[in-house]
A and B are shown apart, each in its own frame.
Chain A
Amino acid sequence: EPEVTQTPSHQVTQMGQEVILRCVPISNHLYFYWYRQILGQKVEFLVSFYNNEISEKSEIFDDQFSVERPDGSNFTLKIRSTKLEDSAMYFCASSGQPANYEQYFGPGTRLTVT
């Protein structure tokens, strides 16, 4: 069964450093998403991406964040200058249709900022 994959599973970085989280969505999907979950808290929407552009973003997704689909298979989330409060689990998701249909989530990348 096709699945969304994410690398790395755990990333440790120092405050102020740039990180790139990588995702490989399901191959025939067209809609891509990033969510995050701070330990013990809700899953929060960050951004959705379709047709090579951002279709929607939350207040969390400020200028420090960017997304890219550099080739036909990868979808990345970049945080330019990490802060302690960016420590969280980051989930990538993809869907074949907009959010009114099912989204498939990856296993997540745990980002620890020290």
Chain B
Amino acid sequence: DAKTTQPNSMESNEEEPVHLPCNHSTISGTDYIHWYRQLPSQGPEYVIHGLTSNVNNRMASLAIAEDRKSSTLILHRATLRDAAVYYCIRTQTGANNLFFGTGTRLTVIP
């Protein structure tokens, strides 16, 4: 059970920022938030993860709400290569698996 809620699909124009929302209202204090994505015909790919603070890496930024009940994955400039299904996943401390939901299918419009 992924225990997160995401929109089924979103669209973005190329070169524009994208904000992908995720709701995890039942999150516990020690659960991490992970984002993975799956490009067409490929395996899932790690994007970013965090616990409480906002996080940045070369791929994206993760903004976590102060109450931790929601988070937003931010792609600063969408490219055609970013078209994928994006998964928001909670993991418990010490957990050894990822539970994937249905994710958000991002379409990038040239």
Contacts and interface: CB of A to CB of B under 8 A. Distances in A.
A99 B44 contact: no
A43 B96 contact: no
Contacts of A48: 96-97
Interface in B52-110: 87, 91, 93-102
Interface string A63-95: 000000000000000000000000000010100
SS class, residues of chain A in contact with chain B: strand
Contacts of A43: 38, 44, 87, 98, 100
A106 B38 CA distance: 12
A99 B98 contact: yes
A99 B46 contact: no
SS class, residues of chain B in contact with chain A: loop
Interface residues of A, number: 25
A104 B47 CA distance: 10
A44 B96 contact: no
Contacts of B93: 100
A33 B95 CA distance: 12
A58 interface: yes
Interface string A33-56: 101000000111100101000011
10 contacts: A35-B100, A43-B38, A93-B44, A100-B49, A100-B95, A101-B49, A102-B49, A105-B43, A105-B44, A107-B42
